[in-house]
């Protein structure tokens, strides 16, 4: 009898652990998740066993529980086979997990069948709620345009790189494409530093910095009241209440001069408007992590223009990293800039 390695987790951990392991690409989709009393057994790909073990999951060798060999998208199509062929062809092949909530992009032609489509995705993917991302994010506060297709619970907790992010998918955007940058923030050496996160959101960068880097204090400023409410909850959820000082309001109103060793500017498109404030609160020799979107052939020139204009040349670019693609020929970049 064929055996494979399973990660054993408690049923209470499953809503967070399964989406997390799915995102990491370690789950063996040819086998199904099994129940063993109060545990869930998650099948792990042979080549990913070391990665799963490094994450702290205990691996158990068991007989394989064979799953339907069809991919989830195929099984969803089978479930909805009575819908018009043109609708079936437009069903999304990708989705995003937010804990036990699934978010999909749904073509306008599919909308009349939204509830049925949502139910099929929920049942095949094991989600409690399925939402459609209608129009991306809008406005200065980056609010999502979300339609509930199936279910009624929109609050969820996402486990990522040792941090629990609680949020409401109907009110708050979670940029899953920024996962590598959130991991990088976790791995910084900020021992003894004062850090200012000018666009904290629900704690995307402030939480990993406060929990893992040794920072002395993290000031987390957020203007959106909905995001701020979850920032407060996430500070408590991750046990960093004393390390993070949350601030509700416009970051341009942060008091004080030249007190920050490090500044996070995790915003895009109009980030340069906030550079004067960042420069007023950063120390000489401090680091600014500057996020923005640029055409792929112009990012270095534009970053030099922005900092050259605002510092009189008193800066040094340590590195520039591409965070993710943003639009055709446009990417989201982050520059680590030392102020001299």
Domain ranges of the chain: 3-63, 72-153, 175-339
Q: What angle do CA 326, 149, 177 make, to 5 degrees?
A: 20
Q: How far is 55 from 17, CA to CA, in rounded Å?
A: 11
Q: How far is 144 from 90, CA to CA, in rounded Å?
A: 22
The pTM (predicted TM-score) of the whole model is 0.77
Q: What is the pLDDT, as a whole number, of residue 245?
A: 98
Q: What is the pLDDT, as a whole number, of residue 294?
A: 96
Q: What is the mean pLDDT of residues 285-295?
A: 97
The architecture of the domain spanning 72-153 is 2-Layer Sandwich (3.30)
Q: How far is 227 from 223, CA to CA, in rounded Å?
A: 8
Over residues 142-180, the pLDDT tens digits come to 566 678 999 988 888 888 888 999 999 888 878 777 888
Q: What is the pLDDT, as a whole number, of residue 136?
A: 56
Above pLDDT 90, what percent of the chain? 58
Q: Which residues share a beta bridge with 63? A: 3
Q: What is the pLDDT, as a whole number, of residue 211?
A: 97
> Is 3.30.70.2580 the CATH classification of the domain at 3-63?
yes
Q: How far is 192 from 156, CA to CA, in rounded Å?
A: 33
Comparison of pLDDT for 150 and 33, the residue scoring more: 150
Reported in sequence order, the residue ranges of 266-307 that DSSP labels E, i.e. its strands, are 282-295
Select the highest-mean-pLDDT range: 2-6, 173-177, 272-276: 272-276
Q: How far is 96 from 148, CA to CA, in rounded Å?
A: 14
Q: Which residues share a beta bridge with 316? A: 338
The total number of residues shown for the chain amounts to 340
Specify the CATH class of 175-339 in words: alpha beta
């Amino acid at each position: 009898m064929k055996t494979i390695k399973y990660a054993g987790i408690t049923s209470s951990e499953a809503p967070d652990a399964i989406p997390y392991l799915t995102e990491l690409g370690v789950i063996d989709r040819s086998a199904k998740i099994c129940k063993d009393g109060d545990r869930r057994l998650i099948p792990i790909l042979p080549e990913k066993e070391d990665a799963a073990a490094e994450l702290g999951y205990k691996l158990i060798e068991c007989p394989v529980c064979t799953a339907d060999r069809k991919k989830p998208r195929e099984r969803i199509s089978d479930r909805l086979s009575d819908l018009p062929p043109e609708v079936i062809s437009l069903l999304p092949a990708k989705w995003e997990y937010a804990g036990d909530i699934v978010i999909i992009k749904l073509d306008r032609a599919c909308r009349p069948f939204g509830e049925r489509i949502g139910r099929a995705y929920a049942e095949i993917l094991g989600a409690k709620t399925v939402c459609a991302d209608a129009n991306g994010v809008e406005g200065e506060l980056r609010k999502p345009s979300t339609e509930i297709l199936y279910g009624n619970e929109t609050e969820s907790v996402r486990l990522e790189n040792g941090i629990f992010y609680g949020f409401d998918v109907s009110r708050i955007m979670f940029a899953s494409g920024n996962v590598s940058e959130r991991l990088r923030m976790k791995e910084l050496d900020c021992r003894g530093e004062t850090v200012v996160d000018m666009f904290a959101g629900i704690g995307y960068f402030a939480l990993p910095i406060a929990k893992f880097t040794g920072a002395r204090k993290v000031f987390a400023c957020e203007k959106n009241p909905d995001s701020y409410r979850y920032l407060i909850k996430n500070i408590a959820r991750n046990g960093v209440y004393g390390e993070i000082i949350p601030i509700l309001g416009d970051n341009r109103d942060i008091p004080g001069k030249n007190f920050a060793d490090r500044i996070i500017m995790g915003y895009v498109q109009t980030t340069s408007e906030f550079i004067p404030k960042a420069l007023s609160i950063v120390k000489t020799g401090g680091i600014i992590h500057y996020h923005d979107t640029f055409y792929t052939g112009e990012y270095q020139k534009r970053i030099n223009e922005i900092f050259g204009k605002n510092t009189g040349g008193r800066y040094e670019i340590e590195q520039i990293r591409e965070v993710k693609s943003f639009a055709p020929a446009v990417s989201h970049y982050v520059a680590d800039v030392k102020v001299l």
